[in-house]
């Protein structure tokens, strides 16, 4: 039972390290583009 708990604990720690590393190394920035939409206004 002790070995299973230790294995689960190690896997959780490794998963946390992997998520932190991916957030720093991975490209998580959004792509920015300019969008222009013509608008017709009716003036009375």
Per residue in 1-34, pLDDT tens? 899 999 999 999 999 999 999 888 876 677 889 9
pLDDT tier, 39 (very low <50, low <70, confident <90, very high otherwise): very high
pLDDT computed for residue 3 by the predictor: 94
pLDDT at position 43 over 90: no
CA contacts within 13 A on the Cβ side of 3: 0
pLDDT computed for residue 22 by the predictor: 87
pLDDT computed for residue 37 by the predictor: 94
Q: Would you call 37 helix, strand, or coil by DSSP? A: coil
The b/e string for 4-40 (b: 16+ C-beta within 10 A; e otherwise) is: eeeeeeeeeeeeeeeeeeeeeeeeeeeeeeeeeeeee
């Amino acid at each position: 039972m002790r070995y299973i708990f230790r294995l689960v604990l190690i896997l959780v720690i490794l998963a946390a390290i992997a998520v932190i590393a991916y957030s720093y190394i991975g490209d998580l920035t959004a792509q920015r583009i300019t969008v222009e939409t013509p608008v017709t206004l009716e003036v009375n």
